[in-house]
Each structure stands twice: as C-alpha cells, then as structure tokens.
Amino acid sequence: MTKTILVTGASSGFGRRISETLAASGHTLVATMRATETKNLEHARSLRDAGLYVVDLDVTDTRSVEAAVSHVIENIGKIDVVVNNAGVASAGVSEAFSDAQMAKLFDVNVLGLQRVTRAVLPSMRAQGSGLIVNIGSILGRVTFPFFGIYGASKFAVEALSESYRYELSQLGIDVTLVQPSAYPTQMYASADQPTDLARVESYGAVGQIPAAMFEQFMSMLSGDDAPNPQDIADAVASLVDQPAGQRAARLVVGNGFGADQINATTEPVQAQTLEALGLSHLALVKAA
C-alpha cells in the first residue's frame, strides 16, 4: 500500500538513499532538509526533478519543524511514516570537546528527533496509525573509544525509541530503531573534531590515537570492500512494508560489533521489566 513518508536529513547519505529507494517503490516521498534555497539548493533541485516532494525543515528549529509538518499535512493530507534520519557525528578525545560542541550535536541527534516526533504524532494519533523509524547507530549499544560524545547521543536515541514504542503501541503507532554500523557517508567524513587542542596534547600518545584510528576508519570505508549505504535504505524499505506490530524493535545493519547480541540479551530483560510494572500489554502494537 502506498504511504506518505517524511524523511529528515534527505540531502545526502542515508537520507538521500532512503528517500530515493522509497520513492522508487511507489510511495509519496517528502524529502526534507535545511537550506533548500542556499546550501542544499542543488540537492533539493535534483530530488524535485526526480519527482520527490521537497520541503525545507531544520530539525534544530521547532518553528521550522512544525511549519514543515503542517505544510505536508495541508498539501498532501497525511503522514504515514516518519524516518528520523538527520544526524551529525563527532570523533576525538571526549574531554577536548567544548560544552557548546556537545550541545550542538545533541540538538541535532536527540532534540531534533524529539521535535520531529512531537510534530507528527498528533496527526498519527488522529488517524490511529503510523510508523516512526529512528536511525540510531551500533554506537548506541557498544562503545568505541573516542566516539563517546556521538555514542552518548545515540544511547539517548535508544531510550527515546524504546519508550515511545511502548507509549504509542496502544494508539496504533509503531516505533522501530535501525542501528547502522559504519558506512561511507558524508556524515562521517565531516565528523566534528574537538576544539580544545591543548587538552588533546595533554593526553600524549593517547591523544594521537583518534587521528590514526579515524584515518584507518576512513580508509576502510573507501576501499573496494567498503559496505554499501544502500543496505540502510533497503532495511528501512523492508520495515515500511511490514505489517504493524510485526516489526522488530531494533534492527542492526552491517557489522554490529556485538550490538545484535546486546539486543538479544536485553529483550527478555525489558519484557520482565514491563511485566513487573504490570504493563506487558504495551509491548504489542494494537491493530488499527
């Protein structure tokens, strides 16, 4: 069945591939991004030329988010699926990131997801159905040294996704989380670096690890055997096509570094927690 799908961060990377893949499957695709008349003008133009509906949306601006969602509902009539994809990355000695840098990253990766979700939920609740797909990371389950700031934001996305999944289940709204491994996208190539270089230098040889680690990381992602970002788009398309209530709470894509094992281990723990709270019924999505 054809659905109206809104994707954030659709100018490039995962968001671009997700948008194009879902549009090719016949869905009405709303590709959103910020700065459609300036920085992302060419991206917006090429997506429009391909038949996608492009809307300006800045996940860090509540008014922008609410205006974009209202525009889609007024002009298309509904939003069936939201893919919270917009995100930024960081890598380096955690202590050397300023509080402003950390706040900026969380503003996109965590608060941005919350802004978009809050904006679309009233219409989904009114229609008694919907799907929210959050793009997290395996770094929301396992920890790499020097990716602590980014990982912290993705751990937060884990908690938000799981709680929303329970809270919305009886309203006919499904929530699922995609956990990608490392893939060659612009987000990783432009990952934020710490600004306090004096603190990096104070770490001595340890402070030099992130640069070497990131160089090896980027080399791996540019080699002949590099993982294909299309994997993420295909995973999202599969989730969209699945019936409500049958989607996994979490889906690892790529080399999980043990994230899939953590998912399997924590699933029964969560079930026991819900049972202890007398809320087991929230684990299953109520049919529309």
Mapped onto helix, strand or coil, the DSSP state of residue 83 is strand
Give the pLDDT means over successive 10-residue stretches in the chain (288 positions).
96 96 98 96 97 98 98 98 97 97 98 98 97 98 97 98 98 97 79 96 96 80 84 98 94 97 97 98 86
CB 254 within 8 A of CB 180: yes
Boundaries of every domain in the chain: 4-283
pTM over 0.85: yes
∠ Cα 131 257 96 (to 5°): 90
pLDDT at 288: 62
DSSP state of 226: P
C-alpha 140/C-alpha 157 separation (Å) is 7
∠ Cα 34 40 42 (to 5°): 145
Nearest to 151 by CA among 174, 117, 118, 179: 179
CA dihedral 160, 214, 226, 12 (to 10 degrees): 60
Given the residues 150, 164, 166, 183, the one annotated as active site: 150
Concerning whether 188 is annotated as a catalytic residue, the answer is: no
C-alpha 157/C-alpha 116 separation (Å) is 13
Q: Which of the listed CATH numbers 3.40.50.720, 3.40.50.300, 3.30.230.10, 3.55.50.30 matches domain 4-283?
A: 3.40.50.720
Nearest to 25 by CA among 231, 174, 233: 233
CB 144 within 8 A of CB 125: no
Cα dihedral 280, 283, 287, 288 sign: positive
